Chain A
Amino acid sequence: MDQFTINLLFVGGSFALYIGIAIWARAGSTSEFYAAGRGVHPVTNGMATAADWMSAASFISMAGLIAFTGYDNSTFLMGWTGGYVLLALLLAPYLRKFGKFTVSEFIGDRFYSQTARLVAVICLIVASVTYVIGQMTGVGVAFGRFLEVSNTAGLLIGACVVFAYAVFGGMKGVTYTQVAQYVVLITAYTIPAVFISLQLTGTPIPALGLFGETAGTGGEGSIYLLTKLDQIVTDLGFASYTEAHKDNLNMVLFTLSLMIGTAGLPHVIMRFFTVPKVSDARWSAGWALVFIALLYLTAPAVGAMARLNITNLMWPNGTNGDAVAVQTIETAPEYDWMLTWQKTGLLDWEDKNGDGLIQYYNDKSDAMSERAAANGWEGNELTNFNRDILVLANPEIANLPGWVIGLVAAGGLAAALSTAAGLLLAISSAVSHDLIKGAINPGISEKGELLSARIAMAVAIAVATWLGLNPPGFAAQTVALAFGLAAASIFPALMMGIFSKRINNVGAVAGMLSGLVFTLVYIFLHKGWFFVAGTNSFPDTVDGSLFGIQSTAIGAVGAIINFGVAYGVSTITKDTPQEIKDLVESVRIPSGAGTAVDH
């Protein structure tokens, strides 16, 4: 059986499973469509949250970004897990106590303002659509590879599949499907990592292998994996793996953006509405992080080990010997992955100096220019290595059996699909429940509401696919922008709504708008207006940026602005009415939660 057939079997089999579960648990009423009837156990809910949460960004993209940058991209690891602490301590139990279905309902009620609710809906839609763009980037990579078509074709096929899938059922179908997806994606992520860790370090646990010694080869003796990695990458003129190369300000702001963004994303928060009790909401956040940590503790090992394997493949005779020959790449079985990935347009090489060898090195490094001149090298010849392919290509790079490769393809698609479905659900409920039913046409029938929910999904995915053809960054970077937007707009409003009785309707609206507009404009100034390439006014680098802060890290500043403006405006406007102070009091105390009510 060839690899294509194996991939098809794994991907097809896993899809059949999800769709089967979705049909089995099909949503009947609107309340089931949104919040799964509130009968979900914290562990089950944690697992579903983990699947919902770990998207193409975590599964497909993140380890690749860590692999090629090293320590500096630890920000993704800390940021995307640390947010759960904020969620568990500052939001989840109180929002569950409040007992409504959507985030914007809370904001609308707490700030006793239809305008606040609408602004929240707009913030949610902006953040979620940006998030879906990142997912579509990942979906394109995964479908492109496993169907062996170009990235663009993969993206278009993927968009159709995601749409069909998300329309199928509401949250109830999605909750159990997502448990299945979690199992598929974590198995797919861990198995190749265990194999590779065994190959390189002799330890079956990748997280330990990362800090372990490499299995001694020949008379070399053993040496720490990270020491060896530092050695070979600096030999080739690249920045060392373990040292810091980014300024502290950007690292801190970026990590903070991801953390508070996590706690402000509608599709994650919605999960905590579905547990039976307030105490369950606290445990749920913990269980979600347990299941997320299984992947996040493995990811840095995957990155480091893949970087080592790739470098060794490109320099089979050591970094001081001869580079790999073009002929070897084209004929030797362990280089097959390069040929298959070349078809997607995401990996490429070119023998610039015509010596029949492919030299992979950092041609921008001064230290390398001497060696390059002496050997007649004319620049780095591994001309394109898209970071987003690393995890999917990883089992092939390590020469693992065909079924592992098929499993990883299925896992990557599960990750992208589950998150895209969760987000589309959040977008559709924001549009149909909050925007149409809540503001434009309160008398809409249940049927009309479901229909508008589905139309909203279709529009969202069309926009995301169109923008996904020219994404503003690698999957994880685009997703990071979405987190910045959620951090700047939603999180501060939710937190102030619970922890302060003084913040009033005008303050909250002014805060959310200033946070969102500031962050969005700053991102557009660096990434291009509406992410259209070439329309940016500033280069998207630390040095070229407006305030010396990267566009991916600006969300934290937006959040601070939001807090400040909301507080300032609230102190000079009318105090909150007594019933709102009572509402805040009641949200703070778990007793009397009962089941949530729709209105």
Chain B
Amino acid sequence: MAEQSTQARAAEDGAGYWKANLRLIIISLIIWALVSFGFGILLRPMLAGIAVGGTDLGFWFAQQGSILVFLALIFFYAWRMNKLDRQYGVEE
């Protein structure tokens, strides 16, 4: 009986953990797409008014900004996930 409820709780926790993970992934990927495909390419004309060192913000995002955001995203995700692992007790 006791064992069953532990198992059921573990499954529930597993589902919650996975849901939290998916939410984090989706948010991160929206930012990922926004800085590269968005600011770097498709939305560049909208950012044309913002001058950066002899060109515009879109050019900066395409050649530097997106890379810096990618870096921040990966470390943010690793940090959040390792925290989630502990929170849900699924760490190694």
List residues of chain A with CB under 8 Å of any chain B CB: 71, 74, 77-78, 81-82, 84-85, 88-90, 93, 207, 210-213, 223-228, 230, 242, 244, 248, 251-252, 255-256, 259, 277-279, 282-283, 285-286, 289-290, 293, 296-297, 300, 585, 588-593
Contact = CB atoms under 8 A, between A and B. Distances in A.
Given A85-B28, A285-B74, A297 B53 contact: no
B36 to A, nearest CB: 5
Given A81-B67, A279-B82, A589-B17, A289 B74 contact: yes
Contacts of A283: 78
Given A248-B41, A278-B92, A78 B78 contact: no
A286 B78 contact: yes
Contact of A77 (B67, B77, B78, B85): B67
A211 B92 contact: no
Contacts of B53: 210-212, 224-226
A286 B74 contact: yes
B40 A74 contact: yes
Contact of B92 (A225, A252, A277): A277
Q: Which DSSP category, helix, strand, loop or mixed, fits chain A's interface?
A: helix
Contact of B91 (A90, A226, A230, A590): A590
B87 interface: no
A226 B71 contact: no
B12 to A, nearest CB: 13
A255 B55 contact: no
20 contacts: A74-B63, A81-B70, A84-B74, A85-B70, A89-B29, A223-B54, A242-B56, A259-B36, A282-B74, A282-B81, A285-B74, A285-B78, A289-B74, A293-B70, A297-B68, A300-B63, A588-B21, A589-B17, A589-B90, A593-B92
Given A71-B63, A81-B66, A89-B25, 20 more contacts: A77-B63, A77-B67, A78-B62, A88-B77, A210-B53, A212-B53, A223-B54, A227-B54, A230-B54, A244-B41, A248-B42, A255-B37, A279-B81, A285-B78, A286-B75, A289-B71, A297-B67, A588-B18, A589-B17, A589-B90
Contacts of B91: 279, 590-591
Contacts of A85: 28-29, 32, 70, 73-74
A227 B36 CA distance: 23
B19 to A, nearest CB: 11
Nearest to B32: A85
Contacts of B29: 85, 89
Contacts of B37: 252, 255-256
B41 A590 contact: no
Contacts of A293: 67-68, 70-71
Contacts of A207: 64
B28 to A, nearest CB: 6
B25 A591 contact: no
Nearest to A292: B67
A63 to B, nearest CB: 11
List the 4 shortest-distance A-B pairs measured between CB atoms, nearest first.
A211-B53, A224-B54, A226-B54, A74-B62
